[in-house]
Amino acid sequence: MKRRVVVLMVCWPLAGFGDDGLDQVMRLLAAVPAVQGEFREEKHLAVLQEPLIATGKLYYRAPNFLRKQTLAPQPEDYEADGDWLTVETPATGRRQFDLNGYPQLRPLVEAIRATQAGDRATLERYYRLEFQGTPADWTLRLTPLAEEAARYIAAVILRGQNERITGVETLEADGDRSVMGLTVR
């Protein structure tokens, strides 16, 4: 009995050592209570020869607040807080949506929000996950599970280093795509 206790005590610190890279990255991300950064997004649309460029700020606060504030070329504000998405533009004013009523929107919000929260269970509710790399340099490809979401999104590819998301590429089902680079402060 004494020998088992000694073996258990020696091996116990190694219990989490065999976790895959995705679990390690999720733990790193989950430990970050808030993120504030700047983004530059290129939207590549089939109908345009040149990409549309937008810049702005991105905010995250655990466990479920995400705000994307576009400053240029036109102001737009997207704020996801819990189950609600608020969209504000000069043209349409302020509108609110219950994400539970929009199965095509929720997965797009959760791609960034649940990843930054380190919430693997939520990601797996909406996506098939493919992880490559190490915690120091990782890529996470999210492929929608629900047909409603797959009609709009082919995949979301997140790139990062340790506890930071450094880029988000959204591949739309119609062939359009957006590439967003993030600089976290």
pLDDT in tens, 29-83: 999 999 999 999 999 999 999 999 999 999 999 999 999 999 999 999 999 999 9
Here the CATH number for the domain that contains residue 147 is: 2.50.20.10
pLDDT classification of 19: cutoffs 50, 70, 90: low
Query: What's the number of domains the chain is made of?
Result: 1
Q: How far apart are CA 44 and CA 108, in angstroms?
A: 17
Domain assignment present for residue 2? The answer is no
Domain assignment present for residue 151? The answer is yes
Domain assignment present for residue 139? The answer is yes
Domain assignment present for residue 13? The answer is no
Higher pLDDT, 82 or 6: 82
pLDDT average, residue stretch 80-95: 96
Domain assignment present for residue 102? The answer is yes
Domain assignment present for residue 8? The answer is no
- Give residue 115's domain range: 18-184
Domain assignment present for residue 1? The answer is no
Six token digits for residue 153: 């999104």
**pTM of model > 0.85:** yes
Q: What is the pLDDT of residue 7?
A: 38
| C-alpha to C-alpha distances, 85 to 1, 94, 153, nearest whole angstrom | 57, 10, 18
Domain assignment present for residue 9? The answer is no
Q: How far apart are CA 180 and CA 185, in angstroms?
A: 16
Measured in residues, the chain has a length of 185
Q: What is the pLDDT of residue 185?
A: 78
List alpha helices for the chain, DSSP H.
Answer: 2-11, 21-30, 106-117, 120-126, 147-150
